[in-house]
Amino acid sequence: MPKQGGAKKKAKEEAKQKKVAEKKNRPKIDPTFGLKNKKGKKNREFVQNSVHNMTADEKRRQQERQVRTCLVSFFFLNQKSFNKKKEAKELQDEAEYALEDLFRTVDGGSLAPSSKSQRKPKKDKEQEADQKDEKEEKPLTLESIDPYSDDFEELLDKLVQKKKTKQNKNKQENEENKNKIKKIITKIYHDYMETCTNRTDLTPCTKENFQKWYTAWTEEREREREIKTRKKLQKLGKKGLTGRELFSIDPNSFKDDEEAEIEYIFEKEEEKKLREQQEQQPSLDKINEEGTLDNKHESKISETEADTNDSANKDQEPAQNGEEPQVKVDEELFMEDIN
């Protein structure tokens, strides 16, 4: 008899070989997405979270699909029921119109008592829209009026009357507002007179009292201004003030003295006189080291001397011939008198 233990071992070995063959034939799947250190704690947590998120997204999408399908089905069902109701109503209307035609009198009068109700035939949507447009009157303006139409003058008269009515309404409103204001003012005045005229504890308003109050009021205002300026100066510190700010604080400091203006004008007049003298006399820089002038300056001086000699000879010639010498007239003197 063969031993039973050997058969069991063979069966186990065959089962192991089958498992090994199945493992070899299976496609290799990397659940860690190609990460290194696959057995590490962080990588395992990352894999678990990614798988969980994927499954959660799939579940959410399935729920949305179910909701959409429910909404779509509900919409279609309602639309079908609406269409059915519409069709039934149309059929009912057609039957009623047929009955009206049958039971209508020969003279074209009213309906017979057998008909349920007297209904008008249906109208198209376009006809209803046209009727609405006709009913809705456009506002009257100069642009809307056609100058070539027959009703041009009538429309103009209407427009003028419309404007007049608006103006009258505005006038009435303004007058009403004025009357309201007058009533309010009179009421305040009467209340004041009733409360204040018969009182003895109040100070009477006289000229002396008013002057005292006015002086005290002006002093208080000046003090407040001084306090404000000091605060501004403290805030600015070392930054300094502008000319405008200084003028607002103390305008008297910016007034010039009359003596300063006179001295300034006098200095200008002296400068003019000195310039004229320098232009008339040759400068010392132009004189040579030998004590003579340049050739240019000598020629100018000789020309001026020759001109003076010629003019003197001309004046003396008529005196020798027995005629009186001609005297030159200075025209500039007369021009000054005319001006």
282-317 tens-digit pLDDT = 555 555 444 454 454 555 555 655 565 555 555 555
**Which pLDDT value is given to residue 114?**
45
Res 219 pLDDT > 50: yes
Could you tell me which residues come within 8 angstroms of residue 247 by beta carbon, excluding any fewer than 6 positions away?
A: 254
DSSP symbol at 289 = T
**Which pLDDT value is given to residue 8?**
80
**Which pLDDT value is given to residue 217?**
93
Structure tokens at 112: 């017979």
Q: Are 139 and 155 in contact (CB under 8 A)?
A: no
Question: How many C-beta neighbours within 10 Å does residue 123 have?
Answer: 9
Output the CA angle 228-234-236, nearest 5 degrees. Answer: 105
Structure tokens at 128: 């209803």
Residue of 156, 138, 139 whose CA lies nearest to 147: 156
Q: Are 50 and 32 in contact (CB under 8 A)?
A: no
Residue of 111, 92, 93 whose CA lies nearest to 102: 111
Model confidence band, residue 218 (pLDDT cutoffs 50, 70, 90):
very high
- Cα separations in angstroms, 232 against 87, 213, 227: 88, 29, 9
**Which pLDDT value is given to residue 220?**
94
**Which pLDDT value is given to residue 1?**
45
N-to-C CA span, the chain: 170
Q: What is the mean pLDDT of residues 205-214?
A: 87
Distance (Å, whole) CA 163 – CA 168: 9
Q: What is the mean pLDDT of residues 220-237?
A: 83
Question: Of the given ranges (183-192, 207-216, 259-268), which has the lowest mean pLDDT?
Answer: 259-268
Tell me the residue type at 255.
K
Residue of 332, 309, 312, 328 whose CA lies nearest to 320: 312
Distance (Å, whole) CA 90 – CA 122: 11
Distance (Å, whole) CA 49 – CA 32: 11
Structure tokens at 122: 């249906």
**Which pLDDT value is given to residue 103?**
63
Distance (Å, whole) CA 221 – CA 83: 86
Model confidence band, residue 181 (pLDDT cutoffs 50, 70, 90):
confident
Structure tokens at 72: 């779509």
pLDDT tens, 125-179?
556 666 655 555 566 676 677 767 777 778 777 878 887 787 778 888 888 888 8
Higher pLDDT, 268 or 166: 166
SS3 73: helix
Domain-wise residue ranges, the chain? 31-123
Q: How many alpha carbons lie under 13 Å from residue 83 in its C-beta half-sphere?
A: 6
